[in-house]
Amino acid sequence: MELEKSLVSGSMSLLVLKLLEDGDLYGYQMIDELRRRSDDTFRLRAGTLYPLLHGLEEKGLVTAYEQTADSGKTRRYYHLTRQGRDALREKESAWNAYARAMGRVLKGGACLA
């Protein structure tokens, strides 16, 4: 099922921070990882990810370092900072509150029977 593009926004940073919780990743890798972990639901685009990562770096939620792989390609790895971990926790609980509220509204109705 095709996800409506406009359904949700602003949760991409939450997802990216969450991915980095388990260890440092480089951008291209995040795209694959997110797709895998969401069973192909979240297809993060490069044009979305890189500006987002730069923003997270500016805010101090992640730090970046370059590393050249055996293949010879230079990869830019991102690391979750302490601040990033705090932000992640906040965003997670905000998401949970939001999802709960959605559940209440979507379940609450249908009293026509």
Residues at the interface with DNA (CB under 7 A): 5-6, 9-13, 26-29, 43-48, 50-55, 69, 71-77
Q: Residues 61, 12: contact at Cβ < 8 Å? A: no
77 vs 25: CA distance, rounded Å: 5
> Binders of a second copy: how many residues, by CB under 8 A?
42
Q: Residues 63, 75: contact at Cβ < 8 Å? A: no
If binding is defined by CB under 8 A, does position 83 make contact with a second copy?
Answer: no
Helix ranges restricted to H, 1-113: 12-20, 27-37, 46-58, 82-108
Among DNA, a second copy, none, what binds residue 48 when CB lies within 5 to 8 Å by partner kind?
Answer: DNA
User: In the structure encoding, which two tokens stand for residue 63, read together?
Assistant: 């730090």
- Choice between 10 and 108, CB closer to DNA: 10
List of residues contacting a second copy (CB under 8 A) = 1, 3-4, 6-11, 14-15, 18-19, 21-23, 34, 37-39, 41-42, 90-95, 97-102, 104-106, 108-112
